[in-house]
Structure 1
Amino acid sequence: MTDATAAAMMLFSPEGRANPYPAYATLRDAGSVIKAPFGGWMVTRYETVDRVLRSASFRTPRGYRDADDPAGPPRFDAATALGLHRRHWLIFQSGDAHTRVRKLIMKVFTPRAVRGLAPRVEALVEALVAQMVERATSEVIADLAYPLPATVICELLGIPAADRDRNRAWAAAVAATIDPVCTDAQIKVAVHAMTEWDAYIRALLADLRSKPGDALLDAMLAVEEDGTSLTEDEVAANATFLFLAGHETTTNLIGNGLYALLRHPAELARLRANPTLIENAIEELLRFDSPVQFAPRVALEQTEIDGVTLEKEIPIMLALGAANRDPRRYERAEELDVTRADPKPLSFGGGPHFCVGAALARLEAKHAFTALLARTRSIELATESVTWRSALALRSLAELRVTLR
């Protein structure tokens, strides 16, 4: 077994889930494009990952392949609700279809609309952080990192408060299928969850058609551009996509980011002393411990990257977490530095598939860290260790217990 193979296999171990970065260093040293242990290829270095993200020669696959049959069929029936939604998710579109759907969604989910959410985000953060401070001890994921973005995206889409827990459960089940090592059991649960979620969203859309409001779903139903509009399938599917994109990344950004700062008290102190650094610090936190560690792609045609020939449709995993710590791109790449000039992480992707929720995630994280620093004199870890969730693609803490003073 080569060093690179051993390092890649380590990513699947508890030690690798807790800290994948030593393995990433070995993988980067082995090459910019290397064989992946679960089939296909892995791209490890910043410049190459960035190039693939921006290239029109690759698309995002709709279903992961079996590890022992990388050229085989998707692992779930495309006729299921899960297959239908993934087929219409913006992230899985390519070419003209992607351009049309993204243009329509971004016409209503504009930067101006996101900026308009700032007062509501700030109010939610203040209320959540006030409760945390009053208790003096807190589990950050449950008390802030999850409820903040989940509440915001539900309100934005027009999902009633009473239904948020159901939507969260469905989203958690479906999110598991994003991981390249999801199990058959997880896929079965996700297929059932999406069947229920799809029925719920379509019933909600029917209500909105009869009683229009001003939520994002209303706007998605009504939007038109150049004589085209979104079909009901596209609206329903991208409602679930936006729910997932609208809270998963932010939850992980706040949780991972605060944990990184608590392990680097000097950087936390610099940020507390100079809150104007918060926006730059968020970019550095995204780089240092990315909420999304891998992004899947397939080549539309046989192509060559850095001397490696990639066959059409062969799975390719872009190692965002490895690229974000590439010493070829960053000085002191393994160090956290909230003053780092132009961190420019790849955590939100790039090119035509740059994350549509990036601006919202940054806004929510900015207000979360601002409030935490403003309302406390100190924040300390309340446990000696933390537990990371088992997913490979999405890096997230199971919980983060802290003491606030």
Structure 2
Amino acid sequence: MSTAPRFDIDVAAFWNDPYPALAQMRKEAPIAFVPQLGSTLLCSRDDIFVSEKKIDIFSSDQPGGLMNRLMGQNMMRKDGDAHMAERNIFFPAVSPKAVRSRWIAQFQAHADRIIGALDPAAPVDLMRDFALPFSAECLKSITGLTNMRFQDMNAWSQGMIDGIANYIGDGAVEARCHAATAGIDAAIDDMLPVVRQAPDHSLLSVMVEAGMPMGSVRANIKLAISGGQNEPRDAIAGTVWALLTHPDQLALIRDGRVPWLQAFEEYARWISPIGMSPRRVAKPWTIRDVAFEPDERVFLMFGSANRDERYFENADRFDLRRDASKSVAFGAGPHFCAGAWASRAMIADVALPALFSRLSNLRIVDGEPIRIGGWAFRGLLNLPVTWDR
């Protein structure tokens, strides 16, 4: 165990709102051992930005980690050449060029169809009725698992997200994760003959065509689903909520002073849909006066780094005028999110402008509280809205 000072948390309170505890840690113990999570947390942006690049010390290769055990070892849980070999196969399917030439038109078609089916006369939860199906339909296109229902894509993604954040060892959560991975394996099995007979540009197709071992194909498809559904889903609903509750910020976009991309980037900094990334200490190391021992677990707290007062003035405020370029919402090292460009296109190029242009006077329905939760992965749980016909 590291020599970091002990910092106790209330797990339920931390799930509901981690920011007060993280701010206290940044002030009093920016490297702290949290026994309730069984891990040492790095909370300052400087420590995280530097440590994430030291893959020989803070390794993503975690043989006994939850992700490896529940989803298989994907490229996110490999370092160095092993990581790059799989990333180089995976990346062309989600590169900026691929997003522009292949995916953005499909994203727009999904958005137009789903928005066209919404009716303000009925109760509309923007999370459930738009963000969830839109993110899932886009992800079906990218992964090549077009045989899945969007409801299954979302449920299985959530099952895996919950499973790999299950640091308290809840058996029911682990069982749901196993059910999710089994469903994804079945969907892959159904689509393998299709992409072998007619290769396309999907993730499944490019990995199979490149000869990647099937265990790695399955693990990397699960990786794409676990982050590729939840993060865009949560960021779409969350950014809409942030803009509707900060009308002065929305006015900056409507007046053309700030682009939609800045709204997404600032929301991703402010809330950090992916709030943490785990690492395994590979060899003895010391940061200032804190010593680490091999094989202990470290959490890089992106959600804390993105509210570090040394980089972000009034960090708890949603402010589209700020420079969010120091944010580590997508990571900062060799494991920088490979799907970042697809996510930006889905949210900033398609979803946000489509919603605000087509749903006149979009607004939150009074009376039903907005719920938000999570710390390893954080997002809205509902967003009741209406608009003018």
Give the alignment's TM-score, normalised by structure 2: 0.88
Q: Which shows bigger deviation, 303-312 or 214-223?
A: 214-223
- Give the Cα–Cα distance (whole angstroms) in 2 for the partners of residues 24 and 156 of structure 1: 35
Aligned to 1:158: 144
Tell me the SS of whatever aligns to 2:375.
coil
Equivalences for residues 109-258 of structure 1 within 5 A: 109-116=94-101, 117-132=103-118, 134-135=120-121, 138-161=124-147, 163-179=149-165, 180-223=167-210, 229-258=211-240
CA deviation map 1:69-90 (0-9, x unaligned): xxxx557995xxx3xx422x11
Aligned to 1:58: 58
Check conservation: 2:311, 2:326, Cα contact below 8 A: no
- Give the Cα–Cα distance (whole angstroms) in 1 for the partners of residues 178 and 122 of structure 2: 41
1:214–1:99 CA distance, 2 compared to 1 (3 A): closer
- Give the Cα–Cα distance (whole angstroms) in 2 for the partners of residues 246 and 75 of structure 1: 18
Aligned to 1:379: 362
Tell me the SS of whatever aligns to 2:372.
coil
Structure 1 residue ranges (4+ consecutive) displaced by more than 6 angstroms after TM superposition: none
Size of the aligned set, in residue pairs, is 378
Amino acid at match of 1:41: T
List alignment gaps of at least 5 residues for structure 1: 64-72, 224-228
Check conservation: 2:157, 2:229, Cα contact below 8 A: no
Amino acid at match of 1:262: L
Residue of structure 2 aligned with 1:106, choices 91, 109, 117: 91
1:53–1:333 CA distance, 2 compared to 1 (3 A): same
CA deviation map 1:42-84 (0-9, x unaligned): 1111111111222222223547xxxxxxxxx557995xxx3xx
Amino acid at match of 2:27: D
Aligned to 2:253: 271
Tell me the SS of whatever aligns to 2:89.
helix
Aligned to 1:34: 32
Equivalences for residues 359-378 of structure 1 within 5 A: 359-366=341-348, 367-378=350-361
Cα drift, residue 319 of structure 1: 1.4
Check conservation: 1:178, 1:393, Cα contact below 8 A: no
Tell me the SS of whatever aligns to 1:253.
helix
- Give the Cα–Cα distance (whole angstroms) in 2 for the partners of residues 170 and 283 of structure 1: 26
Check conservation: 1:141, 1:251, Cα contact below 8 A: yes
- Give the Cα–Cα distance (whole angstroms) in 2 for the partners of residues 133 and 337 of structure 1: 31
- Give the Cα–Cα distance (whole angstroms) in 1 for the partners of residues 307 and 280 of structure 2: 24
- Give the Cα–Cα distance (whole angstroms) in 1 for the partners of residues 315 and 68 of structure 2: 42
Structure 1 residue 347 corresponds to structure 2 residue 329: yes
1:323–1:182 CA distance, 2 compared to 1 (3 A): farther
Give the alignment's TM-score, normalised by structure 1: 0.85
Cα drift, residue 377 of structure 1: 4.2
Check conservation: 1:254, 1:365, Cα contact below 8 A: yes
Cα drift, residue 326 of structure 1: 0.8
Amino acid at match of 1:337: D
Cα drift, residue 133 of structure 1: 6.2
CA-atom RMSD in angstroms: 2.5
- Give the Cα–Cα distance (whole angstroms) in 2 for the partners of residues 60 and 98 of structure 1: 9
Residue of structure 1 aligned with 2:265, choices 279, 283, 292: 283
CA deviation map 1:320-370 (0-9, x unaligned): 111111111112212111121244321111211111111111111112111
1:332–1:276 CA distance, 2 compared to 1 (3 A): closer
List alignment gaps of at least 5 residues for structure 2: none
- Give the Cα–Cα distance (whole angstroms) in 2 for the partners of residues 153 and 292 of structure 1: 17
